[in-house]
Structure 1
Amino acid sequence: MTSPLKLIIDTDPGIDDAMAIFYAAATPDIELLGLTSIFGNVTATQATRNALRLLEWVGLNDVPVAQGASKPRTLPAFPPSHNVHGDEGFGEMPAETPEGKALDEPAAEFLVRMARQHKGELVLCPIGPLTNIADALDLDPEFASNVARIVLMGGSLEEGGNITPHAEANIYHDPHAAERVFASGANITMVGLDVTHRILCTAEDFDAMEAASPRLGGMINEMSRFYLHFYATVGKHDGCSLHDPAAVIACTHPELFTPRAVPVSVSCEKETSGKTILAQDDRPETDVLMSVDASAVKRQFLHEMSKLA
């Protein structure tokens, strides 16, 4: 039996972030070494609170949380995505004050320290804007080589955008940080809309999750109603995309996806800001996931989520 993957999730929870973190907690394939928070779906402060609460709900109180950036590196701050994830990040569920507290250490410093401590083993899974990752790269010139892989949820090569016609939301919310990451030379896998738009969960799937796991599955089911309603308001009535869970599953089950190795750059120009494009320089290639066994990914997700207490 292989050892569990050493994983840190950089997150802005967020409903599908909650699904991804619960999945990581449920599967024996992952040893969750920490969470770092970032602005995006919610503010950085809300993201830290939500990360702490998610860990407490799944009984991982000892897993550290480090708070990260509250705004993009260059652009002005964006308002949180309350229309997608609710005012507090979990749909209609009210905010709760966690028992624990975040580390005094900022997210970028925590990432640098953990990458040194677990050199060549640590997998980093950013599922929000990439500001913390870019900051870590700036802090330590060896960060890109210390991490084994960066498996990020963001971007698209052929699918277009979901926040503008050109851009996926995580990349759009800090394109300068994303460009810094893609140019870094790190071993990067991009889990973008080319695959996540193919993996859908329906209201019936979330009902089944609650039936299998009444407490935590019930929480996800409650959150999902807000998320599904948002999807319906934009004309998507066949379920919600498993964006963030897909990225976590890609960390441990790469065989369920087909990559295309290409150099990726990010537009920072006004109209196309956040668009992921083929780079014109000699930067290393990124493994861009272009196709997926969607039914197998969904089965894997639902199977592990059914184990939640």
Structure 2
Amino acid sequence: MSVQKMILDVDTGIDDAMAIAYAVADPEVELIGILSSFGNIEADRAAQNALKILHLVGANDVPVFIGHQNPLDHNYQRIDVNSQIHGENGIGEVELPTPTQPVATQDGVDFLLTAAQEYGDQLTVVATGPMTNLASAWEQDPATMKKIGNITIMGGALTVPGNVTPVAEANVEQDPVAANQLFTSDLNVTMVGLDVTLRTLLTKDETSQWRTTEAGSKMADIVDFYIDVYADLYPELGGCSLHDPLAVGVAIDSSFVTTIDMNMMVTTEHDAYYARTIGDKARLNDPNPNVKVAVAVDKDRYLQVFMNHFKQLFN
């Protein structure tokens, strides 16, 4: 079995916490570092949350780096809905021990480029927050970024409405300029967006199965907060979406989803279509599209693997 070297680029809210746990549990992954971003919460608090989750799942040796703290073209400001969905502390108002491991001093984007240089096509990068760190690394050193074997993002919405505006998904909306730079680069990217994550759901029937250990109960408390918010905001779904952990799952096993090959762009004008992810009309006839867009998901098989991973962690 070949093991992927993986970096997670997170804005550690609740679904990012599940993504971290999934990566730690998967036997095909060596998690070599976590890179924090703004989004669900500020980048520095996202880094602290990542360290807390790593401690919870017994992975204290994984270093955490802070990346960009603001979008490329404006200053970050946390919006009220993020506090509502993820809690003021980003992890469902659950108190976890203060991590003993400090945040790494190296700049997060520098760490990403160093890892890309070292591991090349053995490296997988999964971004579950805004794409600012990836776009910045691309701007600094495109040749090194092209060495990365697998770039998978959780973001965007092609066939369904957005979740912050009728057209915009949250991670893209936080920094549309960065997302557009990533999509219109010649990096090969897999987009795991709302098209598939809204179909991949978790309920308290599943989280209750983790409550056999103290750590499992803490994770269940965190995710149950998310499930309760979804019940209020999106009662039609019947559970909480596994946005970020699905992206990690797809990065490891692409057969979880069906994709279409497209050249994508993001609308960056400040109008009704701001932050929309859409096909790039200027590159419709390009014979080598660079984005694989997930449009269907084997949700039952994915949920089975997800639950197996979490039972392994928390039993």
* Secondary structure of residue in 2 paired with 1:114: helix
Gap regions ≥5 residues in structure 1:
none
What residue is the counterpart of 1:15 in the other structure? 14
Alignment of 1:217-256 (within 5 A): 217-236=216-235, 238-256=238-256
Greater shift, 146-155 or 57-66, is seen at 57-66
Give unpaired runs (5+ residues) of structure 2.
Answer: none
Deviations 1:82-117 (A, max 9, x none): 111001111121264221112211111110000000
For the pair 1:184 / 2:189, whether they are aligned, the reply is no
In 2: Cα distance, 1:142 partner to 1:281 partner: 24
Matches within 5 A, 1:195-234: 195-211=196-212, 214-234=213-233
Q: How many Å separate the matches in 2 of 1:95 and 1:172?
A: 29
Measured in 2, the distance between the counterparts of 1:35 and 1:92 equals: 22
1:285 is aligned to 2:280: no
Aligned to 1:257: 257
Q: Which moved more, 1:107-116 or 1:226-235?
A: 226-235
Residue 147 (structure 1) aligns with: 148
2:310 equivalent to 1:305: yes
CA distance in 1, matches of 2:234, 2:135: 35
Hey, what's the Cα distance between the residues in 1 that align with 2:220 and 2:98?
Answer: 21
What amino acid does structure 2 have at the position aligned with 1:171? V
Distance 2:152 2:191 in 1: 6
- Whether the 8 Å CA contact 2:131–2:172 is kept in 1: the answer is yes
Q: Any conservation in 2 of the 1:115–1:122 contact (CA below 8 Å)?
A: yes
Contact 1:209 1:302 in 2 (8 A): no
Answer yes or no: is the 8 Å Cα contact 1:9–1:126 preserved in 2. yes
Q: How many residues align?
A: 306
The partner residue of 1:296 within 277, 293, 301 is 301
Deviation at 1:210?
2.3
Whole-angstrom CA distance in 1 between matches of 2:218 and 2:249: 21
Give aligned-pair identity as a percent. Answer: 37
- The answer on whether the counterparts of 1:108 and 1:139 sit within 8 Å (CA) in structure 2 is no
Contact 2:187–2:290 (CA<8 Å) still a contact in 1?
Answer: no
Taking the aligned partners of 1:173 and 1:231, their CA distance within structure 2 comes to 21
- CA offsets 1:172-205 (integer angstroms, 9 cap, x no match): 0000000111112111100001100110101111
Deviation at residue 59 of structure 1 after TM alignment? 2.1
Aligned to 1:169: 170
Question: C-alpha distance in 2, partners of 1:149/1:273?
Answer: 28
Could you tell me how far 1:27 is from its partner in structure 2?
1.4
Which residue of the partner structure matches residue 72 of structure 1? 71
Structure 2 length-normalised TM: 0.94
Secondary structure in 2 aligned to 1:119?
Answer: helix
Residues 1:75 and 1:272: Cα distance change in structure 2 (over 3 Å): farther
Amino acid at match of 2:233: V
Mapped contact 1:144–1:184 kept (Cα < 8 A): no
RMSD, aligned α-carbons: 1.4
1:83 partner amino acid: Q
Amino acid at match of 1:90: I
What secondary structure, in the 3-state scheme, does the structure 1 residue paired with 2:117 have? helix
Distance (Å, rounded) in 2 between the aligned partners of 1:273 and 1:100 = 39
TM-score for both structures, normalised by structure 1? 0.95
Residue-by-residue CA offset, 1:198-225 (whole Å, 9 max, x unaligned) = 10101111112324xx233212210122
Is the 1:144–1:187 Cα contact (8 Å) retained in structure 2?
Answer: no
> How far apart in 2 are the matches of 1:235 and 1:34?
33
Contact 1:200 1:241 in 2 (8 A): yes
Equivalent pair of 2:155/2:170 in contact (CA under 8 Å): yes
For residues 221 and 285 of structure 1, the distance between their equivalents in structure 2, rounded to whole angstroms, comes to 38
1:288 partner SS: strand
After TM superposition, where is structure 1 displaced by more than 6 Å over at least 4 residues in a row?
A: none
**Which AA in structure 2 matches 1:192?**
G
What letter matches 1:142 in structure 2?
A
Could you tell me whether the CA contact under 8 Å between 2:52 and 2:96 is conserved in 1? no
Alpha-carbon distance in 1 for matches of 2:215, 2:153:
25
Over 3 Å counting, the alpha-carbon distance change for 1:235 and 1:145 in structure 2 is closer
